[in-house]
Structure 1
Amino acid sequence: MRITVYAGSALGNRTVYREAAERFARDLATAGHEIVYGGGAVGLMGVVADAALAAGGPVTGVIPQSLVDAEVAHLGLTDLRVVDSMHERKQLMADLGDCFVALPGGVGTIEEILEVWAWLILGHHDKPVVLLNTDGYWDRLVRMTNRMSVSGFLRPEEAGTLASVADSAELFEVIQQWKAPPPRWG
């Protein structure tokens, strides 16, 4: 299985984020899963790639040429795909992945995971969308999705489709039990 991982281009200010990212990537690689990610050598993105590679797992990076030019591309990956734009990057990462997981990160990370979640709800794919909720990092987003539901902006069958997990073991459970909601329109 290919798991698309979205993660920060920074390390964050707590070692727990780095440690969880390393453990998570190592667990995925050890379980035989390939990681697809944003192709960077920096921040939690780089930590994920390095940990998976060190554990013998394949890692595919997808990065726009502008970031290659800025010298932030990870040059030691199994496969590095260079695209023209961020839009192409996001589409290719979505096409390659069988599951989407967001680790702690900033604006780009949240934008990417929310986009694939919206695509799930709209019926553009039927793949799991998951938050690796390291030390409660995504708790407020989870509460916001609950508010969307009780306020009538998410159908009951959509409300639980953004899963929150503590570790890879919980991710594997989500994958095993996954059932996509019916498309909103169609």
Structure 2
Amino acid sequence: MAAICVFCASSRTLDQRWLDLATATGAEIARRGHTLVSGGGCVGMMGALVDGARSAGGRTIGVIPQALVDLEVADLASDELVVTDSMASRKVVMIEKSDAFLTLPGGLGTLDELFEVWTTATLALHRKPMVLVDTDGFYSPLVEWLRNVTAQNFLKPGGFNLLQFADTLPAALDLLESRLT
């Protein structure tokens, strides 16, 4: 099966519904027989994500920079924990180890990871599917802005279409699986 990388928040101050979404995501990835690739953290949605995957018998790969290991937020229970020297090299390793990408709600770090993987796809550096999970319209303002960027020719329609959108977790995973080659 595939290695699915999930980008999500690591904040410790999130509403329970976001933690529940992350737990369900990890569990569903594992139930479908996929390996979970994460940012290697054990807190916030990222921690809930890996806990969900392991609770369903899934394999987890964490990729984390040494600076975050030093802050004691590393997922030491990962089946494989890759420690990088920087946030930039972390993203490179995550892309290399993954067959597909799923983005859950998150903040700046999540968006940084999403845009890195999307930008490299627009440059044809990889052809891996990417799905943004727009739970409860969380990303709707961003998607509207991206449509406007595309309409004004700052992003080609082909580039815009590389990122797929889904309202629910099952729909997002079905979409990713349908695009895996």
Shorter-chain TM-score: what band? over 0.9
Q: Deviations over 1:119-165 (max 9, x none)?
A: 11111100112112122111111111111121122222222222121
* Runs of at least 5 residues in structure 1 that lack an aligned partner in the other structure: 181-186
Q: 2:122 matched to which residue of 1?
A: 121
Structure 2 residue aligned with 1:164: 165
Root-mean-square deviation (Å): 1.7
Deviation at 1:12, TM superposition (A): 5.2
Return the offset for 1:99: 0.7
Identical residues among aligned pairs (%): 37
Shift of 1:169: 2.3
| C-alpha distance after superposition, 1:12-71 (max 9, x if no partner) | 543221111111111110000101011111110000000101110000001111111111
Match of 1:17 in 2: 18
Change (3 A) 1:123 1:12: farther
Task: Tell me how far apart the structure 1 counterparts of residues 85 and 14 of structure 2 sit (CA, whole Å).
Answer: 32
Question: Normalising by the residue count of structure 2, what TM-score does the alignment of the two structures yield?
Answer: 0.92
Alignment of 1:18-57 (within 5 A): 18-57=19-58
Q: 2-side partners of 1:95 and 1:10: how far apart?
A: 25
Q: Distance in 2 between matches of 1:56 and 1:117?
A: 30
For the residues of structure 2 that align with 1:16 and 1:166, how far apart are their CA atoms? Answer: 15
TM-score (norm 1): 0.90
Note the C-alpha offset of 1:176.
4.3
Q: Tell me if the contact between 1:6 and 1:112 (Cα under 8 Å) persists in the aligned partners.
A: yes
Q: Is the Cα contact below 8 Å between 2:91 and 2:116 reproduced in 1? A: no
List gaps (5 residues or longer) in structure 2: none
Letter in 1 for 2:5: T
**In structure 2, what is the equivalent of residue 143 of structure 1?**
144
State the secondary structure of the residue aligned to 2:69: helix
Q: Alignment length, in residue pairs?
A: 180
Structure-2 separation of matches of 1:22 and 1:179? 23
Report how far residue 82 of structure 1 moved.
Answer: 1.1
Q: Quick one: distance in 2 between partners of 1:42 and 1:132?
A: 20
Asked if 2 retains the 8 angstrom alpha-carbon contact of 1:7 and 1:104, the reply is: yes
Q: Which residue number corresponds to residue 73 of structure 2?
A: 72
Matching residue's letter, 1:8: A
